[in-house]
Amino acid sequence: MISNYLTSAEIRRQFIDFFVEREHRFVPSAPVCPLDDPTLLFTNAGMNQFKDVFLGTGRRDYTRAVNSQKCIRVSGKHNDLEEVGLDTYHHTFFEMLGNWSFGDYFKEEAIAWAWELLTGVWQLPKERLWVTVFGGDAKDGLPADDDAARIWAEATDIDRTHILRFGRKDNFWEMGETGPCGPCTEIHIDRGGAGSDPKDGADRKIGVNAGNERFIELWNNVFMQFNRKDDGSLVPLPAKHVDTGMGFERVLAVLQGKRSNYDTDLFTPLFRRIEELSGKKYGEGERSDVAFRVIADHVRAVSSALADGALPSNEGRGYVLRRLIRRASRFGRQSLEVDHPFLFEVVPSVTEALGGAYPELRQRVDHLQLVVRAEEESFGTTLDRGLVLFDQLAQRVANSGARVLPGKDAYDLYATYGFPQDLVELMLRERGWSLDLESWKQAEETHKSASRSEGKFKQAFSDRDLAALRSDVEKAGWEPRTISTYDKPDERSWRVKTQTIRLDAGPTDRRGCRLLLKESPFYPEGGGQVGDTGTIEVIDQALGAMGMRVEDTQRLGDFIIHIGTWHGDVPGQSEEVIATVDLDRRERIRKNHTATHLLHRALKEVLGAHVSQQGSYVGPDRLRFDFSHPQAVTSEELEQIESLVNERVFANAPVKTTIEDLEAAKKRGVVAMFGEKYGERVRVLDIGGWSLELCGGTHVAFAGDIGPFVIVSERAIQAGVRRIEALTGPGAVEHIQSQRRTLSAAARLLKSSPDELVARIEALQAQLKEVKKKEAAGSKADVGAAFERVKKSLASHAGVLGAVLDFPDLDGTALRDLGDRARTLSNDLALALFARAGERVPFLVVCQGAALERGLKAGEVAGRIAQVLGGGGGGKPALAQGQGLRADAVDEALRVAEQALFGPGGP
Ligand code: ALA
């Protein structure tokens, strides 16, 4: 092994240089969360960004590539999450070093170069290296890869007894349930140890592939030859390719002479930071060591995904990120006793360690910290709520007399609140209970199979579609690329003669018909811009009225697919058609798209350079722009932004596009979106030199074409992410007019003019306040006068003071006030008092002292009154209230009350 210590940056560079010297093109890492590929949660191998090349739907202008790819494996076929932290060589986030041949070299060169790099350049001891080759599979009808075994034996000086054969599980690589695949050859290293025998590698129990930390896989060379279809069968790929992947953290550990990946310079700065934050030391105990590894690993995964534009949420990849943050936070709480947010303080160590190779991490450190911190804070609250739910659950179980917690409920707590099995068991043990492990396992299995299907490599169009499409295109002798408005950005005529290839044949009036044209004026959905709509009509009228309403346009590799409803017979392969884009809609989209670029620039200008795009929607109706910013944008800032955009519109600069090299464009400061995958040659959109952005969409010719620009809303969609919605052109005018109509209507109602509206409303508010004040004072005075009347009216009825009175000017509230005061007039009292609330008649009855002793009950009296007045009434013997419905029966009610309180038989 090489003696002088090489840093991670140097080793990464050596790998890339080795293959660049062998005519490989260096291709930057694709985003770790492929935002444009909803079928793949995270990039899980270096080859993901080349899958279209393997399937034959895309091409590159090079046939050899090398890169170091950011990968995350947390779901689907390749899922290492449960292992992470427990051992020293599994990760959710890792870097994969890879070299590729696209129909260029094959096994011979791949194997020889792998050997040369490992044993020549890096001087790994040959006697410690073991290789595996595919031993064949009866079910798939595949023979053993004797070629690979022979090449190892002939083209390298490896000890022949170190060439082992394994089956499909170990030596046949597949990206997902479907997709490109092929036999592979893996290189493993024996890291030895006390008393170990160098021959152990061949021992199936303790050697290669036995799953221990002594023999670890370093490098996998896949020979891509097949496509696995939905039905499980294998079909040969159009060409043979090489796809390799070397775990960077593992090879680094070997080259830096470390037993654990976590002891390399990729991790040590992170551990130092966690030590500072927790006051614990790495290496002090197994329990806290696991926590260190989990935290370091998860913060790396989360930081890299956030930097590429993902955000925590309740579904899909966002949910995975949320769970990683929660898992790390929980390990921090349980094993390191840090119960406040701290992961966000580990983030800068990650961005420093990885920022050299992946600058986007360094550039977005503030945004990452903000989002992680907000998640940690909300998790604290969730955890507290989870504890309450756990108690409730336990209570329910206790009530049923059981002492075993049902596994399904416990698993739900885990899935929703991050309560892991060991924590649940611990809490149960404290109560002397246990967990129903059987049903826990069942729930876990159900959950896992749900997440497995998430990871399935699905395509919007099936493999069969793709294969049929490819062969039709080849038969027709077309270039496998549709000529589109991308190639003719200045094209102004949207009527194009063309030929068709149909993707669906079938009965008339087909919904969901998908059609490919040799040339298309339609823009497919992309970069936030919605797909075009329009019509495709057959020219040959003899065939009758046939045509398609295009409801959406999508991109599939280099093909543009028109989706809609076909009326009449579906056309054959070479009909002449006229394709017409809905031009008015397109015009609105263009205005909104160019305005989106101006808005992006204006946001940076007014709010600061940290603003970066998180997503956008560019439709005919409006535009939406999501961006990172820590707090609400004030209304003054919004006005500044809006004015700035409008100034650029008035300046009316031409909107120019150029095709440039990506690297050159980046060097001159052209804005690229984080997480977006770009080819080597990119389209740069330049608006008067003020806004420079990479973009493939449709735009106006001059900024002035946008017309007025108005912002209609600004709000948070997530911690650290704001959303602005805005309108342009006719939409903006309609908005302004509608607001003006509202304003005029309001002014008319107030008999004022729009300019005076604010002053008028202020005056009205002041008036209202005054009236309310008077009313309150007035009602106090009224209650006072009424009280005097009660006092004067009281007459003695055999030792009880009493009165029955009507107050048509008092409302219910005043009546209650009056009742409260009147009850103080005597200990021995009988009263019935009536008031008004519109048509209704609130009333109350009081019986106290001697009145009660004589058997009078206020509740009963109120009941009798209610019978007269309609409505209801009742209460306690001493005090009752009611509300009558018939003001016209008050006189009758007064009589009844008089009779009930003071009549014969009364007191
Ligand atoms: N694609 C192969 C892997 O991920 C190289 O192992």
pLDDT per residue as tens digits for the range 780-828 = 888 999 999 999 999 998 889 999 999 999 999 899 999 999 999 999 9
Average pLDDT value for residue range 154-165: 96
Which atom of ligand 1 is nearest the CA belonging to 96?
A: 4
Q: Ligand 1 centroid vs 79 CA: distance in angstroms?
A: 13
Q: Of the candidates 562, 476, 553, which has an alpha carbon nearest to the alpha carbon of residue 516?
A: 562
Which band of pLDDT confidence, cut at 50, 70 and 90, is reported for residue 556? Answer: confident
Between 71 and 669, where is the model more confident? 71
Between 861 and 510, where is the model more confident? 861
Q: Ligand 1 centroid vs 144 CA: distance in angstroms?
A: 19
Quote the pLDDT of residue 209: 93
Q: Check the CA dihedral 807-808-809-815 and report its sign.
A: positive
Q: Which helix (H) or strand (E) holds 907?
A: none
pLDDT tens digit string along 259-314? 999 999 999 999 999 999 999 999 999 999 999 999 999 999 999 999 998 999 87
Quote the pLDDT of residue 784: 92
Q: Ligand 1 centroid vs 186 CA: distance in angstroms?
A: 10
Q: How high is the mean pLDDT of the chain?
A: 87
Name which of 5-9, 291-295, 711-715, 830-834 the model is least confident about: 5-9
Quote the pLDDT of residue 884: 94
Average pLDDT value for residue range 467-491: 60
How many CA within 13 A on the CB side of residue 233? 5
Quote the pLDDT of residue 369: 94
Q: How many CB atoms lie within 10 A of CB 822?
A: 21
Which band of pLDDT confidence, cut at 50, 70 and 90, is reported for residue 559? Answer: confident
Q: Of the candidates 820, 824, 815, 784, which has an alpha carbon nearest to the alpha carbon of residue 882?
A: 815
Quote the pLDDT of residue 907: 46
In angstroms, the CA 52 to CA 556 distance is: 10
Radius of gyration of the chain (CA): 39
Q: Whose CA is nearest to atom 3 of ligand 1?
A: 245
Structure tokens belonging to residue 416: 């929703």
Q: Ligand 1 centroid vs 250 CA: distance in angstroms?
A: 14
Which band of pLDDT confidence, cut at 50, 70 and 90, is reported for residue 554? Answer: confident
Name which of 368-377, 389-398, 804-813 the model is least confident about: 389-398
CA distances for 523 relative to 60, 552, 613, 730, angstroms: 22, 9, 22, 22
Which band of pLDDT confidence, cut at 50, 70 and 90, is reported for residue 564? Answer: confident
Quote the pLDDT of residue 383: 78
Q: Ligand 1 centroid vs 221 CA: distance in angstroms?
A: 7
Which atom of ligand 1 is nearest the CA belonging to 243?
A: 5
How many CA within 13 A on the CB side of residue 43? 31
Q: Ligand 1 centroid vs 531 CA: distance in angstroms?
A: 34
- Whether 457 has a pLDDT exceeding 50, the answer reads no
Whether 249 and 255 have beta carbons less than 8 Å apart is answered as: no
- Whether 484 has a pLDDT exceeding 60, the answer reads no
pLDDT tens digit string along 595-614? 999 999 999 999 998 898 98
- Whether 3 has a pLDDT exceeding 50, the answer reads no
Q: Ligand 1 centroid vs 34 CA: distance in angstroms?
A: 17
Which atom of ligand 1 is nearest the CA belonging to 222?
A: 5
Quote the pLDDT of residue 25: 96
Q: Ligand 1 centroid vs 837 CA: distance in angstroms?
A: 80
First-last CA distance in the chain: 114
Q: Ligand 1 centroid vs 243 CA: distance in angstroms?
A: 7
Share above pLDDT 90 across residues of the chain, in percent, rounded to a whole number: 56
pLDDT tens digit string along 624-649? 999 999 889 999 999 999 999 999 99
Q: Whose CA is nearest to atom 4 of ligand 1?
A: 45
pLDDT tens digit string along 202-253? 999 999 999 888 999 999 999 999 988 878 889 888 889 999 999 999 999 9
Q: Ligand 1 pocket check: which of 15, 44, 47 to mutate, most ligand atoms within 8 Å of Cβ?
A: 47
- Whether 125 has a pLDDT exceeding 90, the answer reads yes
Q: Ligand 1 pocket check: which of 77, 134, 188, 222 to mutate, most ligand atoms within 8 Å of Cβ?
A: 222
- Whether 458 has a pLDDT exceeding 50, the answer reads no
Q: Ligand 1 pocket check: which of 173, 175, 218 to mutate, most ligand atoms within 8 Å of Cβ?
A: 173
Structure tokens belonging to residue 224: 């891509």
- Whether 480 has a pLDDT exceeding 50, the answer reads no
Is the pTM here over 0.95, yes or no?
A: no
- Label residue 206 exposed, middle or buried (CB < 10 Å: 0-12, 13-18, 19+): middle
Average pLDDT value for residue range 190-202: 89
Q: Ligand 1 pocket check: which of 91, 95, 175, 243 to mutate, most ligand atoms within 8 Å of Cβ?
A: 243
Whether 678 and 694 have beta carbons less than 8 Å apart is answered as: yes
**Highest mean pLDDT of the ranges 383-397, 473-487, 514-528, 649-663:** 649-663
Which atom of ligand 1 is nearest the CA belonging to 175?
A: 1
Q: Ligand 1 centroid vs 120 CA: distance in angstroms?
A: 23
Whether 410 and 424 have beta carbons less than 8 Å apart is answered as: yes
Residues in the ligand 1 pocket, defined by CB under 6 Å: 45, 47, 173, 220, 222, 243-245
Whether 591 and 611 have beta carbons less than 8 Å apart is answered as: no
Amino acid at 34: P
Q: What are phi and psi of 757, to 5 degrees?
A: -60, -45
**792: helix, coil or strand?**
helix
Q: How many CB atoms lie within 10 A of CB 672?
A: 18
**Highest mean pLDDT of the ranges 303-307, 558-562, 663-667:** 303-307
Q: Ligand 1 centroid vs 164 CA: distance in angstroms?
A: 19
Quote the pLDDT of residue 456: 36
In angstroms, the CA 428 to CA 68 distance is: 46
Which band of pLDDT confidence, cut at 50, 70 and 90, is reported for residue 455? Answer: very low
Q: Ligand 1 pocket check: which of 71, 94, 96 to mutate, most ligand atoms within 8 Å of Cβ?
A: 96
Average pLDDT value for residue range 762-791: 90
Q: Ligand 1 centroid vs 290 CA: distance in angstroms?
A: 27
- Whether 518 has a pLDDT exceeding 60, the answer reads yes
Q: Ligand 1 centroid vs 244 CA: distance in angstroms?
A: 6
Name which of 425-439, 566-580, 742-756 the model is least confident about: 566-580
Q: Ligand 1 pocket check: which of 184, 187, 248 to mutate, most ligand atoms within 8 Å of Cβ?
A: 184
Q: Whose CA is nearest to atom 2 of ligand 1?
A: 245
Name which of 16-30, 288-302, 524-538, 714-728 the model is least confident about: 524-538
Quote the pLDDT of residue 540: 66
**693: helix, coil or strand?**
strand
Q: Ligand 1 centroid vs 306 CA: distance in angstroms?
A: 24
Q: Ligand 1 centroid vs 468 CA: distance in angstroms?
A: 28
- Whether 112 has a pLDDT exceeding 80, the answer reads yes
Which atom of ligand 1 is nearest the CA belonging to 44?
A: 4
- How do 547-556 and 534-538 pair as beta strands? antiparallel
Which atom of ligand 1 is nearest the CA belonging to 221?
A: 5
